[in-house]
Amino acid sequence: MSQTAVDVVGSDRSVVAARINGEIKDLATPVSDSDQVEPIAADSPEGLAILRHSSAHVAAQAVQKLFPEAKLGIGPPIKDGFYYEFDVPEPFTPEDLKAIEKEMVSILKSGQEFRRRVVSEADATSELAGEPYKLRLIGSEGGSEVMEVGGAELTIYDNVDPKSGEVCWSDLCRGPHVPNTRYIPPNAVKVMRSSASYWLGDQANESLQRLYGTAWPSKDDLKAYLTFLEEAERRDHRRLGAELDLFSFPEEIGSGLAVFHPKGGVVRRVMEDYSRKRHEEGGYEFVNSPHITKAQLFEKSGHLDWYAEGMYPAMHLDAEMDAEGNVRRQGADYYLKPMNCPMHNLIFSARGRSYRELPLRLFEFGTVYRYEKSGVVQGLTRARGFTQDDAHIYCTKEQMPGELDRLLTFVLDLLRDYGLTDFYLELSTRNPDKSVGTQEEWAEATEALRIAAEKQNLEFVLDEGGAAFYGPKISVQAKDAIGRTWQMSTIQVDFQLPQRFDLEYQSSEGTRERPIMIHRALFGSIERFFAVLLEHYAGAFPPWLAPVQVVGIPITDDHVAYLQQVAEKLAARGVRVEVDTSDDRMQKKIRNAQRTKVPYMLIAGDEDLAAGAVSFRYRDGTQKNGVPVEEAVAEIVQAVDDRVQV
Ligand SMILES: [Zn+2]
Ligand SMILES: [Zn+2]
């Protein structure tokens, strides 16, 4: 008797496809006893992709039912959802999106089967005569990168109505899909938005409309996802930056270039001060370098060969002409620096170095400029000008394992001090097709990074072949308060720059040796880390980072002078404190302080004044009354010093 994959793995809707001898296929695929058949669960990464891509078919069917003139583009699954592209005369309106979702639900409920059919190129071409973009895919435009074609054979999937047996809709696709639309719960699907796009992502091609949707194994999963999106929106650093008056991006300055306002400036200064202190204790030496340099330096470093696209264009300076228009002096091209490394190398090589000076750790808050494409510029997380907490470590080969170990501990400790506690590490190893340095050097450095990483007892992921051509790297990925992963610190070994700059030191035997160079930035950039912390804390910075740590709230005007005395005591201990002397009523003052997410409110009325006390109101709304002023000051100073989270 012939059997299919579904007979082996069962027809429970929590299984959407099967892995047959290692390849993921439809559940309707025939199998024999000798085949290895494993279930693909709906909630596995592969299962989710199948669920979402199948939903994309349903979305396309819905669109063509409502807009028969719509021509189909491509419809892949993406992170958390799917999209499908259409050539339509008009962009979709919000009402259109609602109507599409409604139509999708009705298709899902009808339980249409996804039925696979192998077609010849000639048959596919005549069948898809009305779909110009699909024809182009058959004609191999887009190649095997899209999921419509690129399998061993061309296939069309028919959506078949289970009652009438009629084919309702068809699409060129290599699959796989769920067996029928009942596998996609109608209350776990949502049309999210639409936006303009280009055929195959190329601006030279036709402009299309991309419809985005999301699909989940259950209603609860969808609900959790929508709550997460709302929470992310509430925490968006661009929004909080404006609400809390921290920074802005004035149009007059240009895209991706932020200015920090006084309150954002305070947070930034505290972040920097603490980092400086830790680096000082960690044996770093502080250096400074200019923002612009002659092209020569980036020719030497190689950046102009492989990084020119990320740099602002050259400024041609210092050329001189005589009265006849003849060139008297050639002048030179200057560039804004996208990286600090070449400058630090010049500091290393400014004089002879001895092994006694190693490891040499050069640190700088170095501001760099990178010409990010306008499409990718995003708030402080992807800016065009930013300040790296950048360091370059020069050490001997023998020192490298110890230095990497120490460095990783330093990085993680520092990130924990700022309140991030959930990490995993990623080790990027050599790509054999594209690397400088010997196999041996790579093996040694990679092994040292691996040992350092494993000692941390953290989740550890291997990014095989993912290293840059110049050396292996560890990156620290941190999860924030709502579970999003941010790439934070990188520790990068570099075999190339010491060669290009001919860096040397004198060994204990008197020979000239090349040092190992390690690049590392812990925050990535101050601006980006600022954004990550702002989103992580949803604007409610812990006391040590909060721009205003205490607001004094007098119950009436009679208590203003008293609270000002309390404020002076706090200020004398370095606490950032304000007294609200506005004409607002007390309740309004409390609401204002809540809005600015200040950690401590100190309220004072007649009783407090008589007792020499104040009343605390904390950020969570709890209150503590009649606290003697000295105790209140001590509590706040302690919380700041200990960098507690409240
Ligand atoms: Zn498909
Ligand atoms: Zn560097």
Parts of the chain belonging to CATH 3.30.930.10:
259-291+337-535
Per-residue HEC secondary structure of 420-454 comes to: CCEEEEEEECCCCCCCCCCHHHHHHHHHHHHHHHH
Report whether 147 contacts 85 (CB < 8 A). Answer: no
Question: Ligand 2 centre and the CA of 368: distance in Å?
Answer: 11
Residue for token pair 């559940």: 27
Question: Ligand 2 centre and the CA of 218: distance in Å?
Answer: 46
The catalytic residue among 25, 235, 341, 353 is 341
- Tell me what pLDDT residue 436 has: 87
Counting ligands in written order, the one closest to the CA of 366 is: 2
Counting ligands in written order, the one closest to the CA of 52 is: 1
Question: Ligand 2 centre and the CA of 390: distance in Å?
Answer: 7
Counting ligands in written order, the one closest to the CA of 498 is: 2
Counting ligands in written order, the one closest to the CA of 490 is: 2
CATH homologous superfamily, domain 259-291+337-535 = Bira Bifunctional Protein; Domain 2 (3.30.930.10)
The ranges of the chain with pLDDT < 50 are: none
Q: How many residues comprise the chain? A: 646
- What three-state secondary structure class fits 546? coil
Question: Ligand 2 centre and the CA of 339: distance in Å?
Answer: 6
53 is catalytic: no
Report whether 83 contacts 75 (CB < 8 A). Answer: yes
Question: Ligand 1 centre and the CA of 418: distance in Å?
Answer: 45
Sheet holding 473-479, edge to edge: 285-286, 360-369, 385-395, 516-521, 485-494, 473-479, 422-428, 459-463
The catalytic residue among 190, 519, 589, 597 is 519
Counting ligands in written order, the one closest to the CA of 175 is: 1
CA dist., res. 352 & res. 345, Å (int): 12
388 is catalytic: yes
- Tell me what pLDDT residue 531 has: 97
The catalytic residue among 388, 456, 492, 549 is 388
- What three-state secondary structure class fits 152? coil
Torsion of CA 164, 170, 173, 176, to 10 degrees: -20
Which of 49, 65, 73, 156 has its CA nearest to residue 107? 65
- Tell me what pLDDT residue 325 has: 81
Counting ligands in written order, the one closest to the CA of 174 is: 1
Counting ligands in written order, the one closest to the CA of 307 is: 2
Q: What pTM did the predictor assign?
A: 0.85
Question: Ligand 1 centre and the CA of 168: distance in Å?
Answer: 15
269 is catalytic: no
Question: Ligand 1 centre and the CA of 76: distance in Å?
Answer: 8
The catalytic residue among 25, 53, 392, 450 is 392
- A 10 A CB-CB count for 612 gives 12
Question: Ligand 1 centre and the CA of 91: distance in Å?
Answer: 24
Parts of the chain belonging to CATH 3.40.50.800:
550-641
Question: Ligand 2 centre and the CA of 406: distance in Å?
Answer: 18
Question: Ligand 2 centre and the CA of 506: distance in Å?
Answer: 23
Counting ligands in written order, the one closest to the CA of 146 is: 1
Q: Could you say which of 2.60.40.10, 3.30.980.10, 3.40.718.10, 3.40.190.290 is the CATH number of the domain covering 42-227?
A: 3.30.980.10
- Tell me what pLDDT residue 2 has: 79
Report whether 172 contacts 149 (CB < 8 A). Answer: yes
- Tell me what pLDDT residue 254 has: 92
Question: Ligand 2 centre and the CA of 469: distance in Å?
Answer: 14
463 is catalytic: no
The catalytic residue among 177, 190, 353, 370 is 370
- Which residues does 607 contact at the CB level (< 8 Å), separation at least 6? 613, 626
Beta strands in 123-206 (DSSP E): 155-160, 167-172, 189-198
- Which residues does 406 contact at the CB level (< 8 Å), separation at least 6? none
Question: Ligand 1 centre and the CA of 68: distance in Å?
Answer: 20
CA dist., res. 116 & res. 247, Å (int): 55
Per-residue HEC secondary structure of 329-384 comes to: ECCEEEEECCCCHHHHHHHHCCCCCEHHHCCEEEEEEEEEECCCCCCCCECCCECC
Torsion of CA 403, 405, 411, 413, to 10 degrees: -130
- Tell me what pLDDT residue 610 has: 96
Counting ligands in written order, the one closest to the CA of 84 is: 1
487 is catalytic: no
Question: Ligand 2 centre and the CA of 303: distance in Å?
Answer: 11
Question: Ligand 1 centre and the CA of 174: distance in Å?
Answer: 6
- Tell me what pLDDT residue 328 has: 81
Parts of the chain belonging to CATH 3.30.980.10:
42-227
Question: Ligand 1 centre and the CA of 440: distance in Å?
Answer: 46
- A 10 A CB-CB count for 579 gives 23
Question: Ligand 2 centre and the CA of 443: distance in Å?
Answer: 21
Its CATH class, for the domain covering 550-641, is alpha beta
The catalytic residue among 96, 390, 494, 580 is 390
Question: Ligand 2 centre and the CA of 393: distance in Å?
Answer: 9
Beta strands in 216-331 (DSSP E): 247-248, 259-260, 285-286, 292-294, 315-317, 320-321, 327-329
CA dist., res. 446 & res. 437, Å (int): 12
- Which residues does 250 contact at the CB level (< 8 Å), separation at least 6? 259
